[in-house]
Amino acid sequence: MINGIISFFNIYQEMNKDVILIVGSNGQLGTVLTQKLRLIYGVYNVIASDLYEKTGFEDNFITLDATDFKAIEEIVLKKKVTQIYHLAAILSAKGEQNPLGTWDLNMKTLFNVLEVSRLHNVNKVFFPSSVAVFGNNIDKENTLQSSNLTPSTVYGISKAAGENWGNYYFEKYGLDVRSLRYPGVVGYQSLPGGGTTDYAVDIYHKAVNNEVFDCFLEASTTLPMIYMDDAIRATIELMEADKEKITVRTSYNLSGMSFNPEQIASSIKEHYPNLKIAYKPDFRQAIADSWPKCINDTAARNDWNWKPQFDLEQMTKVMIENLK
């Protein structure tokens, strides 16, 4: 009798649980998203994958090169994957060192994920886009959802194209692709790599280690940013929203806060008054200058009730508490 109840429970659980594959789980967002999704769906149902295994993250991990279609297909079939979060990409600053290689990698991995999902009935796909899809010809103070997309980097071009491919797969094949245009993400749990907004994470590490911070942007360069908890919550809220509520099938503008290097430094100086900054703008200045300062995310707020919770002061407090 008890065995019968247990096996009924197991079958019930099997039938109702999504199996999620995270492609690019070692990255800044992937590291934290994997942990959060595992709290909701369980470790067994959230498969982490990346090019190499990271110490401390070996549970339910598969080594995966996402440029290899067959390798993704094999995991999806073997593990009966129902959702894919495709996080692997080369970011804005690093991408400019190798434009064609960046285009190849960002697009090939996306096509592989979309095609495998279409062929093998994956229910939902998440594709991260970015404020990098915008370029110089927009209103930078209140960048609307419908603003022109004229990106200044190959990363931005690949994200703008990716958004349109997501929309195409939805319109043509009914594949439920969902996407957010992330601002710069700031968190203590993981390090970004190769982005233009990375300075806003690095500055906290330098402050708590009492080191001078060399800032590659000018003091007055305002950019849209978001605290990690808000970024993760937005991602999960979008993915769990009812399908009929999703009216934007390219990618939703997403806003958290906006600040410049001088403002983040002042908020850190409340805790570390001796923080020293040397401003040494490099090629990343031109990238930052082409991006919005402040994002209008009315569509996300209206469609699935998005609301950020962290401002600069609160973010600085949590960052310092966790890093020091």
In which residue are the tokens 């998005």 written? 306
Let me know if 155 is a catalytic residue: yes
Give the Cα separation of 193 and 109 in Å (integer): 18
| Cβ atoms of 23 and 105 closer than 8 Å | no
> Smallest distance, Å, CB 204 to ligand AKB?
15
Q: Does 158 bind ligand AKB (CB under 6 A)?
A: no
Contacting residue, 24, 151, 162, 184, with ligand AKB by CB under 6 A? 184
Contacting residue, 130, 147, 158, 258, with ligand AKB by CB under 6 A? 130
For every residue of 47-105, which 3-state class applies, written as one string? Answer: EEEECCCCCCCCCCEEECCCCCHHHHHHHHHHHCCCEEEECCCCCHHHHCCCHHHHHHH
Q: Does 253 bind ligand AKB (CB under 6 A)?
A: no
**Interface map 70-99 toward ligand AKB (x if CB under 6 A):** ---------------------xx-------
Q: Does 132 bind ligand AKB (CB under 6 A)?
A: yes
Minimum CB distance to ligand AKB smaller for 81 or for 160: 160
- Segment near ligand AKB (CB under 6 A), from 114-122, 192-200, 228-236, 309-317? 192-200
> Total number of residues binding ligand AKB (CB under 6 A)?
11
- Segment near ligand AKB (CB under 6 A), from 1-9, 79-87, 129-137, 263-271? 129-137
Give the Cα separation of 149 and 185 in Å (integer): 21
> Smallest distance, Å, CB 29 to ligand AKB?
9
Q: Does 195 bind ligand AKB (CB under 6 A)?
A: yes
> Smallest distance, Å, CB 231 to ligand AKB?
10
> Smallest distance, Å, CB 62 to ligand AKB?
26
Minimum CB distance to ligand AKB smaller for 76 or for 151: 151
* Ramachandran category for residue 138: left, alpha or beta (phi over 0 → left; psi -120 to 50 → alpha): beta
Q: How far is CA 277 from the centre of its chain?
A: 28
Which H or E element spans position 319? Answer: helix 312-323
> Smallest distance, Å, CB 279 to ligand AKB?
18
Catalytic residue among 85, 155, 199, 252: 155
What phi and psi values does residue 141 have, to the nearest 5 degrees? -85, -20
Residue 54's identity, in one-letter code, is: K
Dihedral sign (CA 91, 192, 71, 251): negative
Q: How many CB atoms lie within 10 A of CB 76?
A: 22
- Strands lying side by side in the sheet with 20-23: 61-63, 46-50, 20-23, 83-86, 124-130, 176-182, 252-253
- Segment near ligand AKB (CB under 6 A), from 103-111, 189-197, 212-220, 295-303? 189-197
Contacting positions for ligand AKB (CB under 6 A): 91-92, 130-132, 155, 182, 184, 195-197
The set of catalytic residues is 155
